[in-house]
Structure 1
Amino acid sequence: MHAPPSSLRSIALLVGASISFALLDSIAKHLSQTHNPMLVAWARYVFHVAVMAAVYLPRMGRTLVRTRRPMLQCLRGACLGISSVCFFSGVALMPQAEATAIMSIAPILVTVGAVLWLGERAPRGTWWSLAASFAGVLLIVRPGGALFGWPALLPLGAAVFVMGYQLLTRMLTGVDNGLATLFIGALVAAALLTVLAPARWQMPHDGVQAALFVLTGVVGAFGHLLLVRAYEHGSAAALAPFSYTHPAAAVVFGLLFFGQFPDAVSMAGIALIVVTGVVMAASGRLPARPIEE
């Protein structure tokens, strides 16, 4: 039986979004070699807001910034901004593939968090999947390995803040317009980082770097727009396994742009995290939405 065209289109859109996020991570890694990661995250959200405003503000007007739960929206946006700072700081200090794989445990953390704080029932396999994911992390940052050290805590911290962001997203579902939630989150992250980033301000070294700063926001916003379109055409539960294209693309981009490829043990850890996530997602036990950056 062939998949209907709408399903294939939604899968293609989600894969495109995941590849866009991996490309964003590569750009952020490159820029973070010469600029503070907080400044890179600031540019990512400022230009993201600009793109979304240009696309949606003319037709949505004030609806794009209207919310019934402003405190939850602000907290969600803060989690989003902090998660990006943590991840960009981590990916600046370690290979992209490994950093992305560590952050990819976030959906399983969301499931656990929903059980602990939202009172949801634990889906079958939650605890073994959490254990398997952390086993994958330990294979990546194993004692004696090249990545053993504090930098590995940064993408792990990013995963924790992504968990908070996703749990708050659940609490806002059905309360505010979905696009408004997406826009307000980026707007709050941009505002927070606008306060914090000036202390670490560095001008781009040349026009290419300036263009890359702008591109962080453009690529990030493009990825989000693809996500929105994907979920307009397809079932969220059916799409969830394909969000793990992101760590696969991170391996390719890490090799292509930085000449970095995981060793055999790290690759086993990455595979364990991804396979665990895909199995849980395919069985409908993980959040249907992928990690949003």
Structure 2
Amino acid sequence: MSSPAPPAIVQPAPHRPDRPLLGMALRLLAMLFLTSMFTLGKIAADRHVTLVETVFYRQLFAMPVVFAFIALRDGPRAVRTNRIGKHGLRAMMGLLGLACNFGGFILLPLTEATIIGFTMPMFATILAAVVLREATGIHRWSAILVGFAGILVIARPDAGHFAAFGVAVALAAAFLTACISLVIRDLGRTESPGVIVFWFTALSLPPLALLMPFFGHGHDPVTWGLLVLTGVVGAFAQLFLTAALRYAPVSVVLGMDYSSILWATLLGFLLWGEWPMATTWVGAAMIIGAGAYIGWREHIRSRQPNRI
């Protein structure tokens, strides 16, 4: 779940991809910060913070960091846009995706939630075939089936502890992230990455604020600190993702995303005593392998347009 990049994250076209090691290092930092953000949200839930509160404060406390970065780099006027309607659509989808991402991490062990997030490329392929009418051959459809079979291996519904709701929420997060990628692809033709990130954060706050009187309540100082950290850490994750793609192409840095499994496993063990079963690693290999194969087939197709 996060780990393809959560709904708030924008991936711009690379700029001067001549420092691959720096790009990879920044992507690794982004994965650490993303996993930490969802871990903080899970800890906050243990302290009786509602999901609405977590998402609201994540956006609220991220806003100053994101705006300051854009203002210092490009000036405050850089956030102007003529496509507020499309930004609104992206914000609403992103808001749902962010909520599902946090929900998946709250309901499932960290490692399982992270691994299920890697189904995003499969959903993106399905959407490209159905919505964009892109040709999708037997190779990629087979990879999709293998990937979804990997989810069943992880969930083990035959073992009597199938967390159906948690898995459904995590899959919804991956699906929404794939949907958002299509909207961002369109926005990216006219908008800079900073503008897309800013308007997602700004436009998602008003509907959340309307819900806060029903879901918000007071907290102790430690919990408030967790909520502030969730927003700040999430903002820096966005900035690291953006910066990584300024120094290296997507094909170089994308493999770093799988490091989030390491962070999730480590944090899950240290904080909750979670340790994935052998079936989790088998399912992870199936899901990651399917996603990698889909990416490879996309690369082949881009070089030889007549092949699928």
Partner of 1:190: 205
- 2:211, 2:140 → 1: CA distance? 37
CA deviation map 1:125-152 (0-9, x unaligned): 3212211211111112221332332222
Equivalences for residues 51-200 of structure 1 within 5 A: 51-58=65-72, 59-64=74-79, 66-122=80-136, 125-145=139-159, 146-200=161-215
Contact kept, 8 Å, 1:94 with 1:147, in 2: the verdict is: no
Q: Report how far residue 183 of structure 1 moved.
A: 1.3
- 1:103, 1:114 → 2: CA distance? 18
Contact kept, 8 Å, 1:80 with 1:162, in 2: the verdict is: yes
Q: 1:189 to 1:249 in 2, by over 3 A?
A: same
Aligned amino acid, residue 115 of structure 2: A
CA deviation map 1:167-196 (0-9, x unaligned): 101111222122101111122222332222
- 2:26, 2:248 → 1: CA distance? 10
Residue aligned with 2:49, SS = coil
- 1:200, 1:148 → 2: CA distance? 25
How many positions carry a matched residue from both structures?
281
Partner of 1:201: 216
Aligned amino acid, residue 20 of structure 1: F
Equivalences for residues 202-241 of structure 1 within 5 A: 202-204=217-219, 206-241=220-255
Partner of 1:12: 25
Q: 1:52 to 1:124 in 2, by over 3 A?
A: farther
Contact kept, 8 Å, 1:81 with 1:190, in 2: the verdict is: no
Q: 1:123 to 1:183 in 2, by over 3 A?
A: farther
- 1:103, 1:32 → 2: CA distance? 20
Contact kept, 8 Å, 1:241 with 1:277, in 2: the verdict is: no
Which segment drifts farther, 14-23 or 47-56?
A: 47-56
Contact kept, 8 Å, 1:90 with 1:155, in 2: the verdict is: yes
- 1:212, 1:114 → 2: CA distance? 38
Partner of 2:41: 28
TM-score by length of 2: 0.84
Q: Report how far residue 94 of structure 1 moved.
A: 1.8
Partner of 1:50: 64
Stretches of structure 1 lacking an aligned partner (at least 5 in a row): 287-293
Stretches of structure 2 lacking an aligned partner (at least 5 in a row): 1-16, 301-308
Q: Report how far residue 122 of structure 1 moved.
A: 3.0
Identity %: 26
- 1:279, 1:222 → 2: CA distance? 30
* Structure 1 residue ranges (4+ consecutive) displaced by more than 4 angstroms after TM superposition: 282-286
**RMSD (Å) for aligned C-alpha atoms:** 2.1
- 2:277, 2:208 → 1: CA distance? 35
Q: Report how far residue 112 of structure 1 moved.
A: 2.0
Q: Report how far residue 238 of structure 1 moved.
A: 2.1
TM-score by length of 1: 0.88
Aligned amino acid, residue 254 of structure 1: G
Contact kept, 8 Å, 1:80 with 1:186, in 2: the verdict is: no
Aligned amino acid, residue 187 of structure 1: A
- 1:252, 1:283 → 2: CA distance? 32
Partner of 2:270: 256
- 1:60, 1:284 → 2: CA distance? 37
- 2:295, 2:115 → 1: CA distance? 16
- 2:110, 2:53 → 1: CA distance? 19
